[in-house]
Structure formats: C-alpha cells, structure tokens
Amino acid sequence: MLASHLYWTLWALVMGCTPDECADCATDAEAFALGGSGLDYVRYGECRMREYISLRQWLIRHTLI
C-alpha cells in the first residue's frame, strides 16, 4: 500500500510540474476511453503508457532513478 501511495504521489508531482511534456489526455478526445469497445480501452492504455514514459524520462533527467 505504501508503494502504491508513493507511486501516485510521484505521478501527481511530475504531472503537475511538467504538464507540457506529458501526455495531453485532458485535451485529446482520442486518448481517453469513450465507450465500451475494446478499442476505447486501447486508447486509454496508450494514454497511460505515454504518461509512464514521460514520468520515467523526468525521473531519469532529475537523477531520481
């Protein structure tokens, strides 16, 4: 549970500090799931993947990992 809390805290900090470098899911209608089809979940998963890559690059750039 502590690891999950730490993960989401770090995620929120990075998303807040670097909104222009991370995925633009808030403005991209294609990035979030829109309905119940499998393709909607693929779009949602791709958005999460872009966020993960951005987070990882930010952590590496700031020598946290």
The tens digit of pLDDT for each residue in 1-25 reads 556 667 777 776 666 666 555 555 5
Distance, C-alpha 47 to centroid of its chain: 6
| Per-residue model confidence (pLDDT) at position 33 | 45
Range of the domain at 16: 2-61
| Per-residue model confidence (pLDDT) at position 16 | 65
Total domain count, the chain? 1
Judge whether residue 47 has pLDDT over 80. Answer: no
With contact defined as beta carbons under 8 Å apart, do 54 and 21 qualify?
A: yes
Residues 28-41 have a mean pLDDT of 55
DSSP 8-state assignment for residue 45: H
Q: What's the pTM?
A: 0.45
pLDDT band, very low/low/confident/very high, at 28 (cuts 50, 70, 90): low
